[in-house]
Amino acid sequence: MAKERILVVDDEEDILELVRFNLDREGYQVICATSGENALKIAKEDFPNLIVLDLMLPGIDGLECTKLLKNDPDTMDIPIVMLTAKGEEADIVTGLELGADDYITKPFSPRILVARVRAVLRRKVKEPAEVSSVLRIHDIVIHPGRRELLIDNNSVPLTFTEFGILIYLARRPGWVFTRAQIVDAVRGDDYFVTDRSVDVQIVGLRKKLGPAGQYIETVRGVGYRFKE
């Protein structure tokens, strides 16, 4: 039986109870919160293994809560599954850009919710040991644990997705990766992400890298690679 602790955040009592019941039945230890403020407090004190987070919350909403969690070194590595009635692509993309690992739209199937939670936790467990190792290549230093990029000892701020793409390419210099491989590596499977959106992320990443942006090479008709 699973023993991971899961924080469920929703201001609708019936939804909260539905999610709690189904996760509890699967053996997870469930903690509940009805506001973003309470969720942030619990996350800092209990460090759950995963957070199921509603977007439409009173006070601090789900998007702002996600931003605060992902910008805090103490909670930035806690996976987040967004549970939301906001099914528009813009809301979903915003949530993923802030660092959420998955999203489920309401109304939802409890079985699908449990399967998605299990999949996110499984991906977290399978992360290789190398993810915590500092990576040095050319004049770039990448700290995966701190999600920090240094170029010539100067810190360069990146979005969650930009950092994920950079470290995925930089760990295997010279290897060519397709856009689909990049999406799967950074976000996992089954996300509505187009080839064009990957290209847009690369353009933004190169711009922030400045002269070091030349290390990310386009392989026409295939994808991208990090220069050896």
More confident site: 2 or 104: 104
pLDDT value at position 5? Answer: 93
What residues are paired with 102 via a beta bridge?
A: 81
Q: Which residue, among 6, 12, 19, has the nearest Cα to 80 in the 3D structure?
A: 6
Specify the residue for token string 């189904």.
22
Q: Which is nearest to 102 in space by CA: 40, 166, 212, 189?
A: 189
CATH no. for 5-125: 3.40.50.2300
Q: How far is CA 131 from the centre of its chain?
A: 14
Closest Cα to residue 75, out of 46, 95, 110? 46
Q: Where are the domains of the chain?
A: 5-125, 129-226
pLDDT grade, residue 119 (50/70/90)? Answer: confident
What is the pLDDT, as a whole number, of residue 189? Answer: 46
Question: What is residue 132's predicted lDDT score, i.e. its pLDDT?
Answer: 55
Nearest residue to 94 via CA among 106, 79, 107, 84: 84
Distance separating alpha carbons of residues 109 and 163, to the nearest angstrom? 32
CATH of 129-226, one of 1.20.120.450, 3.40.50.300, 1.10.10.10, 3.40.50.1100: 1.10.10.10
| Bond from prior residue into 107 cis (ω within 30 degrees of 0) | yes
Phi/psi at 108 (5° precision): -135, 160
Checking if the pLDDT of 1 tops 50, the result is no
Percent of the chain with pLDDT over 90: 39
Range list of H helices, the chain: 13-25, 36-46, 62-70, 89-98, 110-125, 160-170, 179-187, 195-209
CA distance 187 to 208: 21
Could you tell me if residue 152 is left (phi over 0), alpha (psi between -120 and 50 degrees) or otherwise beta? left
Asked if 29 contacts 2 with a C-beta cutoff of 8 angstroms, the reply is no
User: CA geometry: angle at 159 spanning 155 and 164, to 5°?
Assistant: 95
Q: What is the rounded distance in angstroms from the CA atom of residue 123 to the CA atom of residue 79?
A: 10
Per-residue pLDDT tens over the stretch 10-38: 999 999 999 999 999 999 999 999 999 99
pLDDT in tens, 159-203: 878 888 898 899 888 898 888 888 777 765 445 455 677 888 899
Q: What is the pLDDT of residues 33-58, one digit of tens each?
A: 999 999 999 998 888 999 999 988 98
Q: What residues contact residue 156 under an 8 Å CB cut-off, 6+ apart?
A: 149, 150, 208, 209
Q: Is the whole-model pTM more than 0.85?
A: no
Q: What is the pLDDT at residue 173?
A: 87
Query: Using an 8 Å Cβ cutoff, are 36 and 64 in contact?
Result: yes
